[in-house]
Amino acid sequence: MMHEAVYARYTNVEEIRDASDGSFEAFDADGLPVTVDLSALAPDVEALVSTRNINKNILTLEATITPRRLRDALANDAGKSWVAAVEAKIATERGKL
């Protein structure tokens, strides 16, 4: 996530090299070091984590609507209500993005 945040905030960064101690260095297209303010990246990382979690929730919800469940939904009102409820949950998650 940290690397994604660096690339998003520092558009001149072309490469990030990880060190064995968990730190990293960022470089521009000419191979020159780019100074990265880690404290400024914290909100960006949090936003990326939140977005990733929301998208994961959406995919999980979408995966529950299988072809069999759709077929069952056509057969009775309870099935239709279930699909509608899942779609409402998906819409709620998308609204968080």
Element (H, E) at 33: strand 33-34
Angle at 71 between CA 68 and CA 73, to 5 degrees: 110
pLDDT on residue 40? 87
pLDDT reading at 73 higher than 90: no
Residue-wise pLDDT tens digits, 12-55 = 999 999 999 989 999 999 999 999 998 889 899 899 999 999 99
Domain boundaries, the chain: 1-36, 49-97
Q: In sequence order, what DSSP letters do the residues of 45-83 get, joined into one string?
A: HHHHHHHHHHHHHHHHHHHHS-HHHHHHHHH-HHHHHHH
pLDDT reading at 74 higher than 90: no
pLDDT on residue 50? 94
The whole-model pTM stands at 0.66
Q: Which residue has the tokens 């968080």?
A: 96
